[in-house]
Amino acid sequence: MNGSTRWDTLWVNARLVTMRIGGAPYGVIEDGAVAVTGERIEFAGPRGELPSPPAQCAARVIDCEGRWITPGLIDCHTHLVFGGDRAAEFELRLNGATYEDIARAGGGIRSTVRATRAATEDELAASAARRLQTLMAQGVTTIEIKSGYGLDLANEAKMLRVARRLGEMLPVDVRTTFLGAHAVPPEYEGRQPEYVKLVCEEMIPAIAGQGLADAVDAFCEKIAFTPAETESVFAAARRHGLPVKLHAEQLSDQGGAALAARHRALSADHLEYVSDEGIAAMAEAGTVAVLLPGAFYFLRETKLPPVDKFQRAGVPIAIASDCNPGSSPALSLPLMLNMACTLFRLPPERALAGVTHHAARALGLPDRGRLEPGLRADFALWDISRPADLCYWIGGAPCHSVVKDGRERPRQ
Ligand code: DI6
Ligand code: FE
């Protein structure tokens, strides 16, 4: 190479979980190497296929001492930015109240709305940053963050600005989703159609105009918005060039999955109560099923999402934390992997696909989620013996370090 090295950095003596499809399980490469220049992967393969000895390949060579490398984890569904918490409601539920009872009595999402409206941007950023650092310490390199606790233009925009700011403060990519149609705010009590009009005609145009959202979501449910209202939110999103996703079939079957598929949604999320028609429509549209075992567990749901039917229909399954104060105060994606396996019976390889390449797809980000030349150099090193160990530990897998955009990320 005429004295000049080809790549910036080369990681050797590593075992790779490439998540490449069609080869070995997990796309495993024993005795692998990953080379990076700038923010991109240039090489991810067996050390024996390097073009020359490691020291001649890259300006810097890092010995991974046999550790496993996975793609950086992607948490594709969170409500990470919020004021306060709902630990008191957790106690109420343990004393017999249901999630729906609490919501109908003005608690639930609305209590978080009060706390979020009262908080400053700095306060919201500080509390969300602590949660985000906990997720990052366990391998997260990309996260989606929804609004939905502001429920008026100023406060929804505030939440989305905080989410964007987190991506600037910390070495992690943040994708933002506008969820104005999460709940009806108290000032619109009894005037739900007017609130939907506000979301569609004022909030979405303003949020899109300020470039604050990468997608639009809604909560289609008996205690939230009807399918017809969801349609109008999606139509407004389309008018402003934003892709959609949907909280669908979490507590009952509303036909939300099929509706989302008709709108070519990136994902439909939750899906415990999805029908066969919903699954078929998602398969046809290529809509990802995002399963949220943290919410299933925390709400003590008993109806399982139909994972085998998704698999048979060819619907990609992603797994996310749904981190939020009401239904899933979850701060570990490896814990969600364990729950996806234990509660939903997902084999570890499919669970891992759910927080890597299928999660990337749920965010419309084809540039990440696998270890492959040309993709973003986001990956995590783990002190484990085999890939399934990532799903095995309850409450945290041993993450050694994280590389984001080709650079070793300082410990958070
Ligand atoms: N479904 C959920 O699980 C979260 N939002 C939603 O639409 C819960 C949000 C909350 O309870 O604060
Ligand atoms: Fe959610």
Q: Return the pLDDT at 1.
A: 42
Ligand 1 atom at minimal distance to the Cα of residue 86: 12
Q: Return the pLDDT at 107.
A: 84
Q: What is the DSSP string of 114-172?
A: HHHHHS-HHHHHHHHHHHHHHHHTTTEEEEEEE--SS-SHHHHHHHHHHHHHHHHHSSS
Pocket test for ligand 1, best of 109, 147, 298 (most atoms within 8 A of CB): 109
Residue 293 Cβ inside 6 Å of ligand 1? The answer reads: no
Residue 220 Cβ inside 6 Å of ligand 1? The answer reads: no
Please work out, in degrees rounded to the nearest 5, the angle formed at the alpha carbon of residue 116 by the alpha carbons of 213 and 203: 35
Q: Return the pLDDT at 22.
A: 84
Q: Return the pLDDT at 113.
A: 97
Q: Return the pLDDT at 412.
A: 62
Q: Return the pLDDT at 340.
A: 98
Bridge partners (DSSP) listed for residue 381: 69, 401
Task: Tell me how far the alpha carbon of residue 32 lies from the centroid of ligand 2, in angstroms.
Answer: 37
Which amino acid, residue 282? M
List per-residue pLDDT tens for the chain, 412 residues long: 444 679 999 999 999 999 998 888 999 999 999 999 999 999 999 999 999 999 999 999 999 999 999 999 999 999 999 999 999 899 998 999 987 888 878 788 889 999 999 999 999 999 999 999 999 999 999 999 999 999 999 999 999 999 999 999 999 999 999 999 999 999 999 999 999 999 999 999 999 999 999 999 999 999 899 999 999 999 999 999 999 999 999 999 999 999 999 999 999 999 999 999 999 999 999 999 999 999 999 989 999 999 999 999 999 999 999 999 999 999 999 999 999 999 999 999 999 999 999 999 999 999 999 999 999 999 999 999 999 999 999 976 799 999 999 999 877 6
Q: 21, exposed or middle or buried, with CB in 10 Å at 0-12, 13-18, 19+? A: exposed
Residue 109 Cβ inside 6 Å of ligand 1? The answer reads: yes
* CA–CA distance, 84 with 336 (Å, rounded to integer): 23
Assess contact for 293 and 319: CB atoms under 8 A.
yes
The ligand placed nearest to the CA atom of residue 148 is: 1
Q: Return the pLDDT at 146.
A: 98
Residue 324 Cβ inside 6 Å of ligand 1? The answer reads: yes
Q: Return the pLDDT at 42.
A: 98
Q: Return the pLDDT at 216.
A: 98
Which protein residue's CA is at the shortest distance from atom 3 of ligand 1? 327
